[in-house]
Structure 1
Amino acid sequence: MESQSIDHAALLPLYLAAATAAVALFAGRAAKAATMIGLAASGAAAIWLAAGPTRRTFAVDDWFSFTADETAMGLAALFAALTLLVAAISGRTESEYLFLLAVSAAGGITLASSRDLITLIVAVETLTVPLYVLVARPGRDGAEAGVTFLIASITASATALMGAALLYSAAGTVHFAGLAPALAEAHTGLVAAGTALLLGGLAFKLAAAPLHSWAPLVLERAPLPIATYLASASKLGGAIAVIWVVHFGLAAGAGAEAGLVLAVLAVASIAVGNIGALVQRRTVGLLAWSGIAHAGYVLAPLAALSTASGRENPAAAASAALAYAVFFVLLEAGAFASLTAVRDDGGRIDELGGLWRAAPGPATVLLISVIGLAGLPPALAGTFAKVAILEWLASAALWMAIVVVAGAVVGLAYYLRLARTVLLGEGARARPRFTVAVLAAGLVLAAASLAPGLVLEFTSMSQ
């Protein structure tokens, strides 16, 4: 029997992330240094691969399960960078903590390159399962958050698996390259049911409504560094999973069904997230609820597939959604990291009054992140994120563009309230920590604002 050839170079970032996890578990006091070095090496390997030709491995006929192209490797580098940031702001931690972080990062790196349903779902679970333990910090609140996250995640995973099984039965393959054309000729009811279940289950990872209720509770009660990871790397994983399934697997054969499901999820998320954020008085709660609205903005370009004009260019929809997701998670990571630098918990919004005078560095990064999430200059990363999706929606689904603009206008109310408190309020006291990590996050946000073309280029799905 001829053995399948494997391109080990394509798997190098994954190998390095997995090796980092193994070393961290047994490194003792050197675990943090080993984790930082290993994740940096994994990210560097991904950037090196992104600059070269596309590599593919694990082939079945002409279909591949793992692809290392510019987009996938750019996202792999982003997963490594986000995990590196979380490790840096976690302070003194146990080896097991760093092991779980590195395992989750390995899942994210695999997810970015996955090109079949099995690889994608396994990668999503590898990204998510370590978080069950990391969320459950000692104490009643941590245990409650961990159990809530566990039960909701298992339910969503079972739903996604059922959807994947139905699509497999309809198409006879799990590879995206074979799934897309086969679904066009499959039983319509079977395709619709499979699409709804799969996308609904995966939307949980993005905290999209109506599978959103876990996010505010878990983010508020998890340690702030883990909340940072949940709000950035974990949500990026959910966005990639949905975009990959829609773009590679469904757009050609089930575009209308997928678009209808995503339209419902997008509108519900924008409405629920903004309403929930408006009434929040706690900082993490506000960011958690507004993150639900941003999940709707990520899904909005894909929802345009429900219209005939939207289905004419599904690659543009996927590119707009992915670009928004990348800008969003960078801003979320900046907001949570700067908050971690000045507090052990999120606290109330009014407790951040005058933070800009008490801790200028972290407060500046927090302001840039919050203003960017509102979509306003000078934090141009958020502005370009909104432009990326509105430019597409204006020509493909004008009604959805109106929903996004309305949601963004509502978002100004709570984001500007938070920014005003940080800048002009009084009473905040802080002893900043993790200065290097927070400033590094701020520099990345500045780079994304000054050179958004770099993000738009590697998130383009037309390459």
Structure 2
Amino acid sequence: MHAQTIDHVALLPLYLAAAAAVAALFAGRFAGAVAMIGLAASAAAAVWVGFGPTRETFAVGQWHSFVADDAAMGAAALFASLTVLVAAVSGRKTPEYCFLLAVSAAGGIALAGSRDLVTLIVALETLTVPLYVLVARPGREGAEAGVTFLIASVTASATALMGAALLYAASGTVHFAGLAEGLGGAPAGLVAAGVALVLGGLAFKLAAVPLHAWAPPVLERAPLPVAAYLASASKLGGAVAVIWVVHFALAQEAGLAAGIVLSVLAVGSIAVGNVAALVQRRTVALLAWSGIAHAGYVLAPLAALATAAGRSDAEAASAAAFAYAVFFVLLEAGAFASLTAVRGEDGDGGAVADLGGLWRSAPGRAAVLLVAVVGLAGLPPALAGTFAKVAVLEWLAGSAVWLAVVVAAGAVVGLGYYLPLARTVLLGRGPAAAKGRFPVAVLAIGAVLVAISLAPQAVLEFTALSR
């Protein structure tokens, strides 16, 4: 009987995240500190592994189910770091809360290294399932948010699993490398159906249209720290899942089918998200709807796989999508962390008008919120958002001009709601006294946003993908 060898070094970040979850469950009043220390160690281990040679484990012949390369370990470190930020702005929470948060982070780390459909979907569910409980704030609205998220997520997962079954039937394998080789001779209808179901199910995690309806009500009704996690780490999970499947499994032989599906998702998300965000008057609702538009920007480079130019340069398309996802989730994390520091971990986002006077009453938190909002708009001096949009538009301009026009138009429409929000924070008048705490956490994410604005090449380098 042949036993698989396991590369424990490749799995070290996952081991540390899982250990943090278990330790937090039994740590009592120190659960938050234990979870943050364990997840910080996991992020450091991911960076250490990423700087070394590429590691592969769980082999089936020449294919592997888990790969620890630069991009995977960079994504794993980002999952762990975002979870540390959310734990920091959550205040003193129960051991169960910290356990669920750390388990979700472990799912994200496993997702980052996954290289087959089964591992990817199981990891994505591990990332998502704890959130069913975390979003349920006490009271009727919280219960409705939890049930809404549960029903929508289970439906999307079943859809993705059905698609995975069809792709397995078409190729005889679930490994990405095997799918890339085996789909070429399969029936076109079977491949197209499998691709549509898999990408549709995974796009739910990104809240891409038409699978977006859960996001605004769930984010509004969830506690602000959990909303921050949904808008950052959970969205990163959806982006990584879609990018990994398209890049490693579908780009070569199923590029046209994937491109058509992703084009519909991208254009619909940009249009619906931007138009809906224009009429929002509550802060979290505005960020939730704009996040749907940003999901379209992430998917746009992958959608260009429908063109001949896109299929011949799939690595650049995937790198542009991944870079945008990283910039986007960091900016969203900054926006929600600063909002939590203003409203308190048990508050809600409130109305946009309520942020008037924030610059005078809490300039530090207002500055981080301004950097995040201006970055999401893609404007300087918050250059992180500028570089994110340039990375996407630069690639689209040479492969799918019509999509570049859609992305550019969406960015212009976005100014219609981001700039009034920034103006309210900076110049508005009102009683926006800060009710929250967490100055260290807000300062940390603010420093990260400044760092990636000054050195965006650091992000662009680790988001470069290869096969």
Q: How does 1:232-271 map to 2 (within 5 A)?
A: 232-271=232-271
SS class of match (2:56): strand
Q: Which residue of 1 aligns with 2:170?
A: 170
Q: In the TM superposition, what whole-angstrom CA distance separates every residue of 1:311-331 from its partner, at most 9, and x where no partner exists?
A: 111111100000000000000
Q: Which residue of 1 aligns with 2:272?
A: 272
The TM-score, its normalising length taken from structure 1, stands at 0.99
Distance 1:196 1:153 in 2: 17
Letter in 1 for 2:201: G
Answer yes or no: is the 8 Å Cα contact 1:362–1:432 preserved in 2: no
Q: Which residue of 1 aligns with 2:408?
A: 405
Q: Which residue of 2 aligns with 1:453?
A: 457
CA displacement at 1:431 relative to structure 2 = 3.9
CA displacement at 1:271 relative to structure 2 = 0.4
Q: Which residue of 2 aligns with 1:135?
A: 135
CA displacement at 1:32 relative to structure 2 = 1.2
Q: Which residue of 1 aligns with 2:208?
A: 208
Letter in 2 for 1:349: V
Q: Which residue of 2 aligns with 1:424?
A: 427
SS class of match (2:288): helix
Q: In the TM superposition, what whole-angstrom CA distance separates every residue of 1:206-228 from its partner, at most 9, and x where no partner exists?
A: 00000000000000000000000
Q: Which residue of 2 aligns with 1:73?
A: 73
Match of 1:462 among 455, 460, 466: 466
Q: Please say if 1:107 is aligned against 2:111.
A: no
SS class of match (2:58): strand
Q: Which residue of 2 aligns with 1:225?
A: 225
SS class of match (2:67): strand
Q: Which residue of 2 aligns with 1:434?
A: 438
CA displacement at 1:181 relative to structure 2 = 1.4
Answer yes or no: is the 8 Å Cα contact 1:54–1:68 preserved in 2: yes
Large movers: runs of 4+ above 6 Å: none
Distance 1:66 1:30 in 2: 33
CA displacement at 1:432 relative to structure 2 = 4.5
Cα RMSD (Å): 0.7
Letter in 1 for 2:131: L
Distance 1:67 1:354 in 2: 49
Q: In the TM superposition, what whole-angstrom CA distance separates every residue of 1:306-362 from its partner, at most 9, and x where no partner exists?
A: 111111111111000000000000000000000000102100000000211111111
Distance 1:354 1:136 in 2: 31
Distance 1:381 1:429 in 2: 28
Distance 1:71 1:114 in 2: 12
Distance 1:35 1:361 in 2: 27
Distance 2:351 2:216 in 1: 14
Q: How does 1:328-339 map to 2 (within 5 A)?
A: 328-339=328-339
Distance 2:255 2:195 in 1: 10
CA displacement at 1:413 relative to structure 2 = 0.7
CA displacement at 1:277 relative to structure 2 = 0.2
Instruction: Give unmatched runs, 5+ long, in structure 1.
Output: none
CA displacement at 1:167 relative to structure 2 = 0.3
Answer yes or no: is the 8 Å Cα contact 1:97–1:134 preserved in 2: yes
Letter in 2 for 1:53: P
Match of 1:379 among 371, 377, 382: 382
Distance 1:32 1:241 in 2: 28
Answer yes or no: is the 8 Å Cα contact 1:359–1:432 preserved in 2: no
Distance 1:6 1:133 in 2: 33
SS class of match (1:253): coil
Q: Which residue of 1 aligns with 2:448?
A: 444
Q: Please say if 1:345 is aligned against 2:348.
A: yes
Q: How does 1:278-297 map to 2 (within 5 A)?
A: 278-297=278-297
Answer yes or no: is the 8 Å Cα contact 1:191–1:254 preserved in 2: yes
Letter in 1 for 2:177: A
Q: In the TM superposition, what whole-angstrom CA distance separates every residue of 1:217-242 from its partner, at most 9, and x where no partner exists?
A: 00000000000000000000000000
Letter in 2 for 1:397: A
Q: Which residue of 1 aligns with 2:159?
A: 159
CA displacement at 1:462 relative to structure 2 = 3.3
Distance 1:119 1:448 in 2: 31
CA displacement at 1:394 relative to structure 2 = 0.2
Q: Which residue of 1 aligns with 2:359?
A: 356
Q: How does 1:27-106 map to 2 (within 5 A)?
A: 27-106=27-106
Q: In the TM superposition, what whole-angstrom CA distance separates every residue of 1:14-70 from its partner, at most 9, and x where no partner exists?
A: 000000000111111121111111011000000000111100000001100000011
Q: Which residue of 2 aligns with 1:7?
A: 7
Answer yes or no: is the 8 Å Cα contact 1:158–1:201 preserved in 2: yes
Q: In the TM superposition, what whole-angstrom CA distance separates every residue of 1:171-225 from its partner, at most 9, and x where no partner exists?
A: 0000001111111111100000000000000000000000000000000000000
The TM-score, its normalising length taken from structure 2, stands at 0.99
SS class of match (1:252): coil
SS class of match (2:398): helix
CA displacement at 1:449 relative to structure 2 = 0.3
Instruction: Give unmatched runs, 5+ long, in structure 2.
Output: none
